């Protein structure tokens, strides 16, 4: 079950003593931790170290922390005793003081999956009281963990250079290429030009089609401006508003993504899985988990542009019903196009918690699928789902801590974890995607 919040007064910065940032000391690294860190101890205090591995002895340099803090954060700046799983990072921007986009560039791909499995297991045990062995499955098509990210959001420094931010920082590391970016992203050549007056540039290379797009977000006035975009390949150009919205400048306002046997319209910076195999992998895993039957009622919560809703509609057939809920207006508009051939689907534009609360009296659903944002579903949504008395729930999660917390809430409502699959859809990073199957306890 989730732990109760501590009643101790937080230590203020003025009470925490002098800063230790920049200090160096040796650390014996003990285990992996959530968030791309490994944990060791120095003089009885926990130290969360990036760029290290369990079993190593490293020279750590403090990046965050004060003399009075209970724990410190640090970078491994020298490896004194290396793990057998350590490899040379394939990207020259990785490592202490470099790009924060990848957490495990220094780890062999198979060992990365073991680390992620250990993190999922620890979060389940600590936050939900579930002791479960986890295996993280390799994503198709990326054995070396490189060249997979089809959507890359670059920041822009004060010289107009594209880059990526350091870990837990607003500082930008200019890059000439990103090792995990898909070939279609790098073909655009965005990193090779200057973007003066621009706050950010997202490069999109659709999977299964030749569509390419760049979303350019200018700085606020009077310093910002929308540049004339000249790149190495034909692209659609959109102007971002800094809040997730975008409008077409020239070309298409959307890209065509191909997955699950269909072509999907995804507009602007709308959400779509960034690994080219992810939509297929997750769709297959979700549908296998719920085994929706003809004539059943299903719900797809946080439905996005409709990926899972389409598969559920095929399974429940014309005599069944699918209610898809999404709060983002742009995603709803795309879903209406993507799902227009299914008369059994009803799309609800609303927050998930509100849609569940406002469900008609007596409404029940045999199947519920949810794919919430990284922060998870939360207690109110879990209570709303279990009130529908589903026979099965499939929970797609990109953060194991949020998943474990919510599994605790499901347990309070009489639902237990049946099966869990984990997928390495973000190689080189700490992130792992899970599909949890929940059923009423005792069944």
Q: Binding residue per annotation — 326?
A: yes
Same CATH fold, 151-257 and 1-86? yes
Q: For position 14, what pLDDT does the model report? A: 57
- Residue ranges of the domains in the chain? 1-86, 151-257, 277-440
Q: Binding residue per annotation — 318?
A: no
Per-residue pLDDT of the chain (443 residues; tens, 9 = 90+): 333 444 444 445 557 899 999 999 999 999 999 999 999 999 999 999 999 999 999 999 999 999 999 999 999 999 999 999 999 999 999 999 999 999 999 999 999 999 999 999 999 999 999 999 999 999 999 999 999 999 999 999 999 999 999 999 999 999 999 999 999 999 999 999 999 999 999 999 999 999 999 999 999 989 899 999 999 999 999 999 988 889 999 999 999 999 999 999 999 989 999 999 999 999 999 999 999 999 999 999 999 999 999 999 999 999 999 999 999 999 999 999 999 999 999 999 999 999 999 999 999 999 999 999 999 999 999 999 999 999 999 999 999 999 999 999 999 999 999 999 999 999 999 999 999 999 999 87
Q: Binding residue per annotation — 75?
A: no
Which residue among the candidates 38, 91, 178, 398 is catalytic per the annotation? 398
Task: For 151-257, give the CATH class.
Answer: mainly beta
Q: For position 3, what pLDDT does the model report? A: 38
CATH superfamily of 277-440: Vaccinia Virus protein VP39 (3.40.50.150)
User: Is 398 among the catalytic positions?
Assistant: yes
Q: Binding residue per annotation — 131?
A: no
Fold of 1-86: OB fold (Dihydrolipoamide Acetyltransferase, E2P) (2.40.50)
Q: For position 7, what pLDDT does the model report? A: 41
Q: For position 12, what pLDDT does the model report? A: 54
Kindly report the three-state secondary structure assignment for every residue of the chain. CCCCCCCCCCCCCCCCCCECCCCEEEEEEEEEECCCEEEEEECCEEEEEECCCCCCEEEEEEEECECCCCEEEEEEEEEEECCCCECCCCCCCCCCCCCCCCCCCCECHHHHHHHHHHHHHHHHHHHHCCCCCCCEEECCCCCCCCCCECEEEEEECCCCCEEEECCCCCCEEECCCCCCECHHHHHHCHHHCCCCCEEEEEEEECCCCCCEEEEEEECCCCCCCCCCCCCCCCCEEEEECCCCCEEEEECCCEEEEEECCEEEEEECCCCCCCCCCHHHHHHHHHHHHHCCCCCCEEEEECCCCCHHHHHHHHHHCCCCEEEEEECCHHHHHHHHHHCCCCCCEEEEECCHHHHHHCCCCCCCCCEEEECCCCCCCCHHHHHHHHCCCCCEEEEEECCHHHHHHHHHHHHHCCEEEEEEEEEECCCCCCCCEEEEEEEECCC
């Amino acid at each position: 079950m989730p732990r109760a919040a501590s009643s101790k007064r937080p230590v203020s910065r003025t009470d925490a003593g002098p800063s230790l940032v920049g200090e160096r000391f040796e650390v014996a690294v003990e285990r992996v931790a959530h968030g791309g860190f490994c944990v060791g101890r120095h003089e009885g205090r926990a130290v969360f170290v990036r760029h290290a591995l369990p079993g190593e002895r490293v020279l750590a340099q403090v990046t965050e922390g004060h003399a009075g803090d209970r724990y410190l954060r640090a970078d491994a700046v020298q490896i004194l005793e290396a793990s057998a799983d350590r490899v040379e990072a394939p990207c020259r921007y990785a490592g202490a003081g470099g790009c924060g986009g990848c957490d495990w560039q220094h780890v062999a791909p198979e060992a990365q999956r073991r680390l992620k499995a250990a993190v999922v297991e620890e979060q389940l045990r600590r936050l939900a009281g579930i002791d479960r062995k986890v295996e993280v499955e390799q994503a198709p098509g990326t054995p070396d963990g490189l060249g997979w990210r089809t959507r890359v959001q670059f920041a822009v420094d004060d010289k107009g250079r594209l880059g990526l931010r350091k870990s837990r920082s607003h500082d930008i590391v200019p890059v000439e290429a990103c090792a995990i970016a898909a070939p279609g992203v790098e073909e655009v050549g965005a990193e090779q030009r200057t973007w003066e007056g621009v706050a950010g540039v997202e490069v999109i290379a659709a999977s299964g089609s030749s569509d390419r797009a760049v979303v350019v977000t200018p700085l606020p006035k009077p310093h910002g401006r929308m540049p004339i975009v000249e790149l190495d390949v034909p692209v659609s150009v959109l102007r971002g508003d800094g809040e997730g919205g975008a409008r077409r400048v020239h070309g298409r306002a959307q890209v065509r993504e191909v997955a699950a046997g269909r072509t999907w319209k995804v507009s602007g910076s709308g959400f779509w899985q960034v690994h080219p195999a992810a939509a297929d992998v997750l769709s297959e895993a979700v549908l296998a988990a719920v085994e929706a039957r003809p004539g059943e009622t299903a719900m797809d919560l946080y439905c996005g542009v409709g990926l899972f809703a389409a598969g559920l509609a095929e399974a429940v057939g014309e005599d069944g019903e699918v209610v898809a809920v999404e709060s983002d207006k742009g995603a709803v508009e795309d879903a209406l196009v993507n799902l227009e051939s299914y008369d059994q689907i009803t799309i609800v534009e609303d927050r998930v918690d509100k849609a569940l609360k406002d469900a008609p009296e007596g409404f029940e659903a045999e199947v519920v699928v949810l794919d919430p944002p990284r922060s998870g579903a939360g207690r109110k949504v879990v209570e709303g789902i279990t009130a529908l008395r589903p026979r099965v729930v499939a929970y797609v999660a990109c953060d194991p801590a949020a998943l474990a917390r919510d599994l605790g809430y499901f347990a309070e409502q009489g639902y237990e974890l049946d099966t869990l699959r984990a997928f390495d859809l973000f190689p080189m990073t700490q992130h792992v995607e899970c599909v949890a199957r929940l059923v009423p306890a005792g069944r």
